[in-house]
Structure 1
């Protein structure tokens, strides 16, 4: 189990040079944009335009802050995403454009290498203790606004944009909000040859 503090995240330019992304975690550690198996990051989107293309990658985007964004993914109807929307999944190698609804946003990006890994992203608003299953190869819990305490061998307190990354553990995690809080639960798994 690793605690990832927002103050320690690494910032870098977008692949297309149009902005800055903040990497929360990546596997393998320190993998570049063409070599990761999976990656979780945040980006500040200041204006509309094309998204970076990532060959062979599946992507899920969620709005963390701001009014929202309209994504135009080739072959799909436009998708309007706000901070209240469910996470939106799409192939990261399909031409994708974005239009901001009303000003800049911050988004959460989860990407996995197609054919090797898969992921799911769940947005939960919690006001009472919640149990989170951790049966996936890796589970990441990201706290958004407010604070939570995650029960473990030693309880861990997560503040705004802090995260907890854990490998599979049958016992799961118990999350106790200090106040009403949104958490994103990211589950990442390997794809077996017979899947």
Structure 2
């Protein structure tokens, strides 16, 4: 289940994510969700993925794509995006947005990292990403065309009719205008809340 589909709420399980090579062949990425379903790297509207970065080096170039990067595990990286000052990203940093079609490279600070990538196609979609500490109940009011919630470090219980659970790295996808969500942590972790917005001409 890789696209937003028509159901008002669904959960993508980490065990079902697809592992595929980087666009530049330098490693592998774990694809969490993509739209349209089974879209390739050149024709998606939006894509959420995680990558294990084990060496410093250049990023793949994605024409017409806007990206946001967060570090999930490891000591972090220094990101060098053309036209911007070098940016140090760690697990404590806020998500960092940058264009995916300018020269970009990363230097590892102290060993491999795992990062979270959100990408949207410019002119069709836009996105916003919020990193939220998750040690007590959180309430979310979905306002985007789709709201995606990734649990990191700990799972969560949803207060709904059937009370489904999110395990670590599972993703919840919720369509616009669903009633407020209540999530209770199963331990201490983080939530990454991603809002996806489709431009009116593409609705």
TM superposition score normalised by structure 2? 0.92
Structure 2: 5+ residue stretches without partners: 1-8
Q: Does 1:139 align with 2:147?
A: yes
Which residue pairs with 2:15 in the alignment?
Answer: 7
Whole-angstrom CA distance in 1 between matches of 2:186 and 2:80: 37
Name the structure where strand makes up a greater proportion of residues. Answer: 1
Q: How does 1:25-174 map to 2 (within 5 A)?
A: 25-174=33-182
Q: Please give the per-residue CA displacement for 1:19-40, whole angstroms capped at 9, x wherever unaligned.
A: 0000000001100001100000
Partners in 2 of 1:60 and 1:164 — Cα distance? 19
- CA–CA separation in structure 2 for the residues paired with 1:80 and 1:156: 37
Q: Deviations over 1:108-166 (max 9, x none)?
A: 00000001100011111122111112111111111101121122332121111111111
Counterpart of 2:25?
A: 17
TM-score normalised to structure 1 length: 0.96
- Measured on the aligned residues, the alpha-carbon RMSD in Å equals 1.0
> 2:158 & 2:110 partners in 1: Cα distance?
35
SS of the equivalent of 1:7 reads helix
Q: Distance in 2 between matches of 1:52 and 1:82?
A: 20
Q: Which consecutive residues of structure 1, in runs of 5 or more, have no partner in the other structure?
A: none
Count of residues in Structure 1 that have an aligned counterpart in Structure 2: 193
**Residue of structure 1 equivalent to 2:5:** none
